[in-house]
């Protein structure tokens, strides 16, 4: 399908664009009153995420408000552990939990490697959203990274210390590698299914890459993201842009840029010009305004956007985004200010 607006894909391929494309992590979410309405109708998060018509509706909602250059499918990074039999649910005020978290070696060895068919509701949501967008903008598919999924599966939710996950790495590295390899193979199948269903690009969210030392990041996170990038290429999807986003792993940006991915997401703790130097001209860069900037007055947001754009400079390969996701208490009007500022200040 020919896209009316392909700025995002051209930027990821480091082609010249008439302005810098912009989309935002968690752009479909709780800060929008129209999202909260659909979420209330669904009754719970998993019903919303697993009902293709609802997932499609909330994916497109931000595009009805703001002239964004990409949509990202509404889903969750923990769909794969759910498909492996861990039974994902969301505890109000607590976040994700599993009915069957991993507790021992036998659990890891028993885990299946699910096919894309085991997550058909995601494929159906992508197909429906692609048809509904009808070429308006690209649709982004995504997955959690193997390391990040491992932490949720071992900790049974989020963690401040990642003690159980790190204990697995150090006490039983062979078991950690077994689990990471199963997750990597699952993710390759999952992302292929998403691309075949209509996703124009895919992003891997390595939310907790930054809690590892640089050496452990290479061994337990980057190695498996490399496996995914290679797996997609070997399956014939080398032309589909892949973006890696490892929050807090700025010390490994050079190594990440050498994986063969098309783009790297950046958090807000590094200046984008520094990241550009570290990554050479190998990849596009996505980011990296501190999301908390959206609490500021409009004039401050405008200047903060301009600073990021000026720091990146005039060359190709920049996708404007936040350094992490939108927060539920943010004002949609501030997003309008941000998007307008990107469009004005980056017009070439």
Catalytic residues: 26, 30, 39, 76, 152
Cα torsion for 101, 105, 108, 110, to the nearest 10°? -110
Is 282 labeled as ligand-binding?
no
Is 27 labeled as ligand-binding?
yes
Is 324 labeled as ligand-binding?
yes
Residues 6+ apart with CB under 8 A from 37: none
Is 152 labeled as ligand-binding?
yes
How many Cβ atoms from other residues are within 10 Å of residue 258's Cβ?
14
Which residue matches tokens 């479909």?
A: 28
How many residues are there in the chain? 348
Alpha-carbon distance of 240 to 258, in angstroms, equals 17
DSSP for 101-131, please give it. ---SHHHHHH-----GGGGHHHHHHHHHHHH
Is 136 labeled as ligand-binding?
no
Q: What are phi and psi of 174, to 5 degrees?
A: -65, -35
Joined tokens for residue 52: 């293709």
Q: Which of 279, 242, 316, 344 is nearest to 10 (CA)?
A: 316
Is 26 labeled as ligand-binding?
yes
State the binding site for substrate: 26-30, 76, 152, 207, 324
State the binding site: 26-30, 76, 152, 207, 324
């Amino acid at each position: 399908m020919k896209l009316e607006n392909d700025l995002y894909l051209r930027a990821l391929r480091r082609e010249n664009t008439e302005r810098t494309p912009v989309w935002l992590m968690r752009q479909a979410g709780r800060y929008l009153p129209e999202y909260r309405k659909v979420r209330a109708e669904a009754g719970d998060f998993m019903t919303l995420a697993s009902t293709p018509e609802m997932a499609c509706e909330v994916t497109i909602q931000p595009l009805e408000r703001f002239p964004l250059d990409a949509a990202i499918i509404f889903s969750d990074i923990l769909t794969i552990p759910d498909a492996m039999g861990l039974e994902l649910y969301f505890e109000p005020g607590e976040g994700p939990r599993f009915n069957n978290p991993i507790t021992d070696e036998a659990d890891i060895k028993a885990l299946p490697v699910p096919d894309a068919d085991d997550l058909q509701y995601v494929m159906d949501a992508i197909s429906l959203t692609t048809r509904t967008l009808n070429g308006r903008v690209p649709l982004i598919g995504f997955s959690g990274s193997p390391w990040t999924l491992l932490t949720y599966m071992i900790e049974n939710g989020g963690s401040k210390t990642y003690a159980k996950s790190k204990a697995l790495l150090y006490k039983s590295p062979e078991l950690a590698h077994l689990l990471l390899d199963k997750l990597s193979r699952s993710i390759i199948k999952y992302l292929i299914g998403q691309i075949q269903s209509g996703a124009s690009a895919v992003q891997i969210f390595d939310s907790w890459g930054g809690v590892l030392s640089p050496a452990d990041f290479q061994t337990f996170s980057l190695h498996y993201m490399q496996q995914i990038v290679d797996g997609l290429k070997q399956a014939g999807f080398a032309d589909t842009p892949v973006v890696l986003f490892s929050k807090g792993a700025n010390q490994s940006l050079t190594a990440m840029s050498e994986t063969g991915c098309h783009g790297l997401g950046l958090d807000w703790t590094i200046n984008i010009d520094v990241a550009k130097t570290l990554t050479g001209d190998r990849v596009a860069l996505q980011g990296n305004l501190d999301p908390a900037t959206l609490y500021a007055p409009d004039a401050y947001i405008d200047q903060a956007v301009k600073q990021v754009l000026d720091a990146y400079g005039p060359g190709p390969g920049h996708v404007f985004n936040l350094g992490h996701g939108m927060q539920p208490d943010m004002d949609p009007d501030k997003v309008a200010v941000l998007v307008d500022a990107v469009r004005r200040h980056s017009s070439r």
